[in-house]
Structure 1
Amino acid sequence: MKKFDISILTAAVLLTGLAVIGVSQAKDSAAAHAGTVATVGNSTISQTALYEQMKKETGTKVLTDLIAIELCKQEAAAQGIKVTEQEIDAKINPIKEKLKTPEKFQEYLQERNLDEKGLRERFGMLLLRDKLFDKAYPVTEEQIKEYYEKNKDKLEQTLEEARPQIKEKLQDRNRRKHADEWLEQMKKKYNVQIMDPILVEKEAK
């Protein structure tokens, strides 16, 4: 599997597009005109052609994200890890406050091809991922003290004052450092298998 991008869901819009194309393709295979996405003179470009090209160009990255998302969901369910609506609110409310008006917030959503439900789902998944990683690779007191000793001149705070900031930085570092390791462990645990011949070939390269 290609390198796991710690910023899971950055391809969320593309994922949705591929899913829609796949569903439409299956439903409309008997009606070629219904599967046309563009016409060029007397020629047509089909959903199948679009899907196959997208799969060749970005399929491995998208598949990695899809697998990572599903692994997060299944492992969180197995461990009883959940994200509350209040935790999601704590991420979204600052965005609303910064943008100041509902109209600006809607513009923010439109720029990302999302509605508020989609944004909440995205933050929910990111929070779920972080909880899984932080549990698998917790920040230790030794790490916090070591970081503080190396950076106390820049921090200009006592250890206790700087602790929350340091812990957050170290959590982010742990997530990035162990992302691929965690994904490989989960792939083995949940017996991930790639079935599409094109993606299997790309994966082997």
Structure 2
Amino acid sequence: MTRKQLWIIIAALILVNCITIVFFIAKDKFGKADETVATVGKETITRQEWLKEIEVRYGREVLEDLVNQKVIELAVDKYGIKMSDKKLEQELTMLKTIYGPYYQNQSIDEERWKEQIKYTLFLEELLTKDVKVSEKELKKYYLENKRRFNIPPSYHISQIIVKTKKEAEQVIKELKDGSNFSVLAMERSIDEFSANQGGDLGYVSKDDERFSPAFFLEIEKLKPGQWSKPSKIEQGYVIVLLHERIKGKKYSYKEVKDQIRRQIALEQMDMPISTKPFWKEIGVEWFYGKKEK
């Protein structure tokens, strides 16, 4: 299990949680089953039809995610496994900076990401709690992968690229008048990839060859929440919005020792990250299957 795979799993869990939120908000917002939630021509779609479709499409995944979270909570209590806020922040920082593109558009709900990372780390600890890795092997892994634990200064940014200076000045005017940066990026930016993400480029660092030193000079002048003046680039003019700045950090062996142990243990076990080994142990009874005990 690589860090990249971990990040993809967390992204999938967030998607399921978002669907869960939509489902329960829908239940709270509309009081009657036959209440109309949409009209299409002369046809209507009722709340009952909408919620039924959500359940058919996503019901099993949503319920399984909720069950898994409960299983992890109970198993963690049973085995006395702890996770400090410092360790959680460390993992979050490394995931953001190393796999920035997978983090795009998620900072708006960072607390939810933290929760999912915490559940995933707890699950890793549960699965590897009985696996022993020698100090020699741990140090060897650290020395061979030291660069992975050196986090460069990184910036979470969004951009809008337009062809002319006049267009760039118009974008700045609209931003000052209160227009949303993400919406403007989708409407105006000629960079198709980032425009589809509302301009979001995720986390970038100075060793990213896609950007020039001058690009980062502009970013360094900004405070989180500020956008830059238009800058001339090959495609035209770019306006950059800074969301977050992360200071560089070189993690010591001691700081990442636990993370390395989990990584090596999971590779040795060669098994998927799953709560299923604990379902029978905890005792799960759910809508889609017989009691697991």
Residue 30, structure 1, aligned to residue 123, structure 2: no
Matches within 5 A, 1:36-47: 36=37, 38-47=38-47
Aligned counterpart for 2:131 among listed residues 117, 133, 138: 138
In the alignment, is the contact (CA less than 8 A) between 1:8 and 1:126 conserved in 2? yes
Q: Percent identity?
A: 18
Q: Would you say the 8 A contact 2:34–2:47 is kept in 1? A: no
1:120 paired residue among 108, 114, 122 = 114
- Shift of the 113–43 alpha-carbon distance from structure 1 to 2, 3 Å rule, reads farther
Task: Tell me the CA shift for residue 122 of structure 1.
Answer: 1.9
- Which structure is richer in relative contact order (CA contacts within 8 A, separation 6 or more)? 1
Instruction: Say whether 1:173 aligns with 2:175.
Output: no
Q: Could you list the per-position Cα deviations for residues 175-202 of structure 1 after superposition, in whole angstroms to 9, with x for gaps in the alignment?
A: 652655x514x2223331123xxx459x
Query: How big is each residue's C-alpha offset from its partner over 1:60-84, in whole Å with a ceiling of 9 and x where there is no partner?
Result: 3333222212100111122221211
* Displacement after TM superposition at 1:93 (Å): 2.6
SS in 2 for 1:86: helix
Specify the alignment match of 1:76 in structure 2.
Answer: 76
Residue by residue over 1:83-108, the C-alpha shift from the partner in whole angstroms, topping out at 9 and shown as x without a partner, is 11101111123356669xxxxx9x98
Report the AA paired with residue 132 of structure 1. Answer: L
Distance 1:56 1:46 in 2: 16
Partner of 1:12: 14
Cα distance in 2 for partners of 1:174, 1:23 equals 43
In the alignment, the residues of structure 2 paired with residue 16 and residue 171 of structure 1 have an alpha-carbon distance, to the nearest angstrom, of 31
1:149 corresponds to: none
Which is richer in helix? 1
Question: Partner residue of 1:151?
Answer: none
When the two structures are superposed, what TM-score results if normalisation uses the length of structure 2? 0.45
1:63 maps to a residue whose letter is L
Q: How does 1:41-56 map to 2 (within 5 A)?
A: 41-56=41-56
Q: 1 CA distance for matches of 2:93 and 2:107?
A: 19
Q: 1:58 to 1:72 in 2, by over 3 A?
A: same
Indicate if the aligned counterparts of 2:33 and 2:47 stay in contact, CA closer than 8 A: no
- Please state which structure has a larger fraction of its residues in strand: 2
Specify every segment of 5 or more residues in structure 2 that has no aligned partner in the other structure, as ranges.
146-259
Query: How many residue pairs are counted as aligned between the two chains?
Result: 168
Q: Larger Rg: 1 or 2?
A: 2
CA contact (8 A) 2:131 2:265 kept: yes
Is 1:61 matched up with 2:58? no
Contact 1:13 1:113 in 2 (8 A): no
Counterpart CA distance in 2 for 1:160 and 1:170 is: 8
**Conservation of the 8 A alpha-carbon contact between 1:22 and 1:51:** no
